[in-house]
Structures are given as structure tokens and as C-alpha cells.
Chains A and B, each alone.
Chain A
């Protein structure tokens, strides 16, 4: 969508002189500038939309590929490549991957939920508490503590693979969802703390003080005043954490082994046989696996309200 310029009347030379003053040089140069400005703006828009279109295509190609492949039979995939429109719109791929005796995706979906929901809640919950403490209270060493927590974000998770694997093995959590929940909570806390601390910092102190005088204790201030104000930030974090944990392949792959504790991302990989790749099944499983994140996004989108704190203080 482009904004349209309001139609400009084309005044007669006489009128123009009257409107723009008696200096014709000034009038001319101003007109020239605005023509040039229009042209430059249009070129800028064209470039911008061109670039956006290219990016959009790049993003959509894999999705398109997955959708058309999911509805093709194995024979059709082998015969016709990946990009053609499916001839029969077969649903057999979906049935096969959901079948407990074949793909068993139902179990993996359940496992993924059992992992993602508690790990998201825990990391956001702990991050919110830490963020509130660091954002609203001053204490000795608070800056250092904050840097220490946030520094966790800069560690590549891969360097912790072997220590974490051995640790989980030693404490007997290897091959359970608990291991993955714990590791995702730990790796989620830094980003949650960072976001929430920055958010709490801009909530006016006067709100806390007003609540204190109104008779609230620290818990009710946190729960009844601060938390409702941070809903947009919580929604962002919920989406972020859910997507990240749901889509993660590395940790469940390393920390689980049995089918009973397998998550969907590992489950999709398992559709690959030793000599064959079930393209249709993998595409169908990928589509099924991406649905929960899609729902999460749609659900939380409405909480992304800007300026919820508007009206708290002068305005």
C-alpha cells in the first residue's frame, strides 16, 4: 500500500505568483525540488517493495515445497520432483506419520508439548522474577549480577553438550524429558531476564509507590500491578520461548534415546530410513509439527499491544 498524495491544483501562472510570492526564482526552485523528491521517493519505494518481494519468495519456497510434497504419494515424489502441483492430493502421508505403528507422531507431539510448556513457563517465570528484582530494586552488585546472568546468552549451547550429557547421565535424568526441560529452562533464563528487566525498568516507580501507600505488599504489587503491565513483554517471550524450544532439535537429540521420550523434531528425523527418505512423510510431519507454533503466534499476537502503560503518568 502506498500513501497517495492529495491532488494538487495546478494554478495559473498569475495565481502561482500570488501564492508563492513575487520571487520567481524561489518559486521555480521549490517546484523543481518537489518533482525531484517525488521521483526519488517512488524509486525508493520500488526498490523497497522489490527487495521485500524477493525476501518473501525466499521464505515461501520451502513452505511451498513442504505443502506440495506432503500431498503427493511416494511414487509421485519419485517421478515428478518436488515443485509440481500434486495430482491427487493424497492424505496418506498424514495418516502414515500419525499411525502409532508407523510414524507415531502423536506420541512425539505429546512429548514436545510436555517439554515445551513447562520449559517455557519455567524460563519465563524465573526470568520475570529475576528481571523484576534487577529492574526495580537497587542492591550492591546488581549490575554485575545482571551481566553474569545475561552472559549466559553468549555461550554457544554446543560447548555444553558433553558436560550436560555426562551430568544428566550421572544424575539419572538421561533419556527423560526432564533433562531437556532443565536445559531449556537454564538457557531461556538469560533472554527472559534481559527482556523483563528492561521492561520493568520503564514502568514508572510512582506506580509501585502508589500501590505501597494504597496498602499493597511486595507480592501484590508484583502480581496485581507490575505483571499485568508486562503482558505484551510476556506475550513476546511466550512466543519466542515456545517456538525456540519446540523447534529445537539438538538437545532432545542428544539427551533422549527411546521412542517414549522422543520429541517431534527428532521424530521427523526418524522417518528417514537407512536407504530411503520418506519425503512425503517428512513434509507432512513438518507441517503438523509447525502447527502449534503457528497457533501460539496467532493466540499471543493480540497481546502485543503497544503502550499499555500509556495513561499511567502524564500525557
Chain B
């Protein structure tokens, strides 16, 4: 068991910098998720940690040991690959035992560990089969089993669920979370799926274009995004953004979107004051736009009449595509809403949860103050 440290780590492929000055401290026994769009450097970071890619700059530590020049086999990590990478000519048993055999583990110990892990994973009856005789879900479990029997200090998982169908993926998600709780080992998990990241990670590390955007708990990432990228990436449907200007007159602050304007609650005004008179980007999540007829209690409302363009009935909620004065945005409302396409609808913005970003740096104006609140 060990923590992992990325210390000013960068990676170049030729002239292309794919990971740039990454600084992360992963605590022992933590479940850290790297998430980001394709090409953001998340897999490369994991592969550098595994020893499958060289580190261009900086150093990576597992525990207290710098592993830059340590061979993959000596790093005490086990990895589950996106493609599973099971050895096709070996049985499930041999696949799982391969790493232990290479380490000259006594046969009795190998037998015990493989059988125990296989039974735990529900693949005990498949030990004599070859990978091609298994279903996708079973292969995925074998790949996890191969990692478990090694009893490594750090588990690395590179999009291990992306080849499973939706139902299996949900099952596998909880299965991996349970595994993490039982093994009490450091897990580092790469995914492009923000739902996976949010549901599994104790902390999430959001990457974009090789740069760390934010590393935080799922709750903080959602409610206090550091910048527009994180705000837009986490959450589905994603946050609505409006180009706006911030004005203040007679002590009350207003976000002017053009088509409409929103009053900033007094409690939030302080953190935005530095940007009065400047261009900003206003962000509001779909669930903070309500049908005026079905308002939750205790919010600071701002009412608006909108045109309904598309209604997606989900059963437990309704996703509505709205338009007002040329601005399009999405609301996630109470399922009882009477919205219908082509008609007008009264909506209410919950101004408590409004996000304001600097138009140039794209950073949240309230990030620091909210962070202090949480702390």
C-alpha cells in the first residue's frame, strides 16, 4: 500500500506536449479518477505511472520511491487494460497465475490466491476456459482478477468498463467500488465517462489538453468548478453558459445577458465585485432552472418567460430545451411540468447556484471563497 505523487510531470511525443506540469498527490488507499475528453493526457499519465511510457520531465513517486527509472515489474503496480489484454493462448487460471509464476511464488500460494480471487469475482467455474470462450463481462473480471492476485501497492485501471454494455457497466462500477473498499489499496482509474468518475472516485482529477484543471471531491467538482471547462464537463446535461456583463447600481448587482438580466443575490455579490463593468460568462445548471409552477422551497428566484423548443420526458424529470431572446438553454424540471413544444413557459432561475466566470481566464470568480466555506 502506498500513495502516489506526480511531481511537475510532463510528457512530450515529439514536439507535442501531451501532459504538462502535472502535480498530484494521491493519498494511500484513495480512489483517484483521472477524467477528461480523449487526448487530454489521462491515459498517458497512467501509463507513465505504470512504466509503459517514459517521463519527459519531473518525477513520479510510489510511496517514497522515485520510480522514473524503475522497470514496470518492479513498481509493485497491477493494471487492468481497456482491451483487458488477456493472454489468448492461456486458460483463465494461467492468465491470473502468470504474474505470480514469473515471481516464483510457491505453487500452493498461487493456487490459493487464484482460487480465492476467482471465487470472489464469480469466475471460479471458468478457470479452465480460454479468453475467447468468455463473454465481455467475464473477460473484464478475469482482467481484474489478474490484477488482484498480485496484491499490488497500487491498482491502475485504464477505462476498464468502456467495452461493456450499459447494464454491465453499472454492475461493474459498484463491483469495483466494493473491491476498493475491501482491498483498502490505492486505486487510480482512468475514464472519459464523468458518471463513472463521479460515482466511483473519492477524488477526481479533471484533465484537459494535458493540463490539470481541478482535483477535488465529486461534490466540490460539481458545486464549485474551478473553471468553465470543469463546469461544462461535469454534469449532464451540461451547465448553460451565457456571455454577459456584470453591472452594479445602487448597491445591487446585475448580470446582463442581453436578452434578460439576473439580479445577483447579495450574499454572492462580494466575490463578483472585482469584475463589475467587465465581460463575464454566467453559468447555471439545468436543475437550477425550474418550472415556475413547481418551485422548490427557499431559493432566490428570478422569473423569465421562455419558448419551449424540445421536451424530453424522462419519467423522473423532464429535460426542456428553451429559448429566450435568441439565447438557448436547457432546464431539468419537475416531471409534472405542463411544458409543450411551441408554447411559452414560465421558468425560475435559482440564483443561489449561479456561477460567474472571468471571460478571459474562464476561471470561476467564486471558487476561492466557496473553497474556504467548505474548508
Q: Which residues of A contact B (CB under 8 A)?
A: 204, 206-207, 209-217, 220, 225, 228-229, 307-315
Q: Nearest CB to that of A310 among chain B residues?
A: B132
In B38-54, the 8 Å CB interface with A consists of: 50-52
Q: Is the CB of B51 within 8 A of A311?
A: no
- Quick one: given A228-B89, A311-B139, A315-B136, are A212 and B84 in contact (CB under 8 Å)? no
CB of B100 to closest CB in A, whole Å: 9
Could you say which of A204, A210, A228, A314 has the most chain B C-beta atoms within 10 Å of its C-beta? A210
Residue contact A216 to B87, C-beta cutoff 8 Å: no
Contact A210 B103 (CB under 8 A): no
Beta-carbon contact of A229 and B88 below 8 Å? yes
Query: Which residue of A is nearest B75, CB measured?
Result: A213
A9 vs B132: C-alpha distance when bound (angstroms):
40
Chain B contributes a number of interface residues (CB within 8 A of A) equal to 32
Kindly list chain B residues whose C-beta atoms are within 8 Å of the C-beta of A312. 83-88, 131
Closest-by-CB residue of A relative to B140 is A314
Asked if residues B51 and A315 are in contact (CB atoms below 8 Å), the reply is: no
Point out the residues of chain A lying under 8 angstroms from B133, CB to CB. Answer: 311
For residue A209, which residues in chain B have a CB less than 8 angstroms away from its CB? 50, 52, 72, 79, 81, 85
List 3 tightest A-B contacts by C-beta distance, closest first. A311-B132, A311-B131, A214-B99
Listed residue (A206, A217, A309, A310) with the most chain B CB atoms within 10 angstroms of its CB: A206
Q: Is the CB of B99 within 8 A of A311?
A: no
Q: Which of B86, B88, B131 has the most CB of A within 10 A?
A: B88
Q: Does B223 contact A (CB under 8 A)?
A: no
Given A213-B73, A213-B77, A311-B139, decide whether A206 and B131 contact each other with a Cβ distance below 8 A.
Answer: no
Chain A: minimal CB distance from B146 (Å): 8
* Given A209-B52, A212-B52, A313:B83 Cβ within 8 A: yes
B-chain residues with CB within 8 Å of residue A207 when the two chains form the complex: 85, 87
B163 lies within 8 A of chain A by Cβ: yes
Contacts of B102 in A (CB 8 A): 214-216, 220
Q: List 20 A-B contacts (CB under 8 A).
A: A206-B81, A209-B81, A211-B87, A211-B98, A212-B71, A213-B79, A214-B98, A214-B102, A228-B89, A229-B88, A307-B132, A308-B89, A309-B88, A310-B88, A310-B132, A311-B132, A311-B134, A311-B139, A312-B83, A315-B136
Interface centre among A209, A225, A308, A310 (most CB of B within 10 A): A209
Minimal beta-carbon separation of B338 from chain A (angstroms): 41
Q: Is B17 an interface residue (CB 8 A)?
A: no
If A215-B103, A312-B86 touch, whether A210 touches B81 (CB-CB below 8 Å) is yes
Chain B residues with CB under 8 A of A213: 50-52, 72-73, 77-79, 99
Question: How far does the alpha carbon of A313 sit from the alpha carbon of B80 in the complex, in Å?
Answer: 12
Instruction: State whether the Cβ of B275 lies closer than 8 Å to any Cβ in chain A.
Output: no
What is the CB-to-nearest-CB distance from B259 to chain A, in angstroms, rounded to a whole number? 47
Residues of B contacting A210 with CB < 8 Å?
79, 81, 85-87, 146
When chains A and B are docked, how far (Å) is the Cα of A315 from the Cα of B88?
12
Chain A: minimal CB distance from B16 (Å): 16
Q: A153 to chain B: closest CB distance in Å?
A: 30
Q: How far is the CA of A308 from the CA of B150 in the complex (A)?
A: 27
With A206-B83, A311-B131, A313-B83 as given contacts, are A212 and B136 in contact (CB-CB < 8 Å)?
no
Nearest A residue to B139, CB-CB: A311
Alpha-carbon distance A228/B88, docked complex (angstroms): 9
Contact in complex: B72, A308 (CB < 8 Å): no
- CB neighbors of A among B61-99 (8 A): 71-73, 77-79, 81-89, 98-99
Q: Which residues of B contact A217 (CB under 8 A)?
A: 73
Q: Chain A residues with Cβ under 8 A from B71's Cβ?
A: 212
Report B330 CB to chain A, min CB distance, Å. Answer: 33
Residues of chain A within 8 A of B136, CB atoms compared: 314-315
- The chain B residue sitting closest to A206, CB to CB, is B85
A14, B134: Cα distance in complex, Å: 49
* Docked CA distance A280–B163 (Å): 65
Q: Which of B83-139 contact A (CB under 8 A)?
A: 83-89, 98-99, 102-103, 130-134, 136, 139
Q: How far is the CB of A302 from chain B (nearest CB, A)?
A: 15
Which A residues are CB-close (under 8 A) to B73?
212-217
Task: For residue A218, give the distance in angstroms from its CB to the closest CB of chain B.
Answer: 11
**Complex: how many Å from CA A213 to CA B155?**
11
A215–B73 CA distance with the chains assembled, in angstroms? 4
- Chain A positions within 8 Å of B50 at CB level: 209, 213
Q: Which A residue's beta carbon lies closest to that of B47?
A: A209
A216–B89 Cα gap in the complex (Å)?
Answer: 16
> What residues of B have a CB within 8 angstroms of the CB of A315 in the complex?
132, 136
Q: Assuming A209-B79, A209-B81, what are 6 further A-B pairs, CB within 8 angstroms?
A: A212-B51, A213-B99, A214-B73, A215-B103, A312-B87, A314-B139
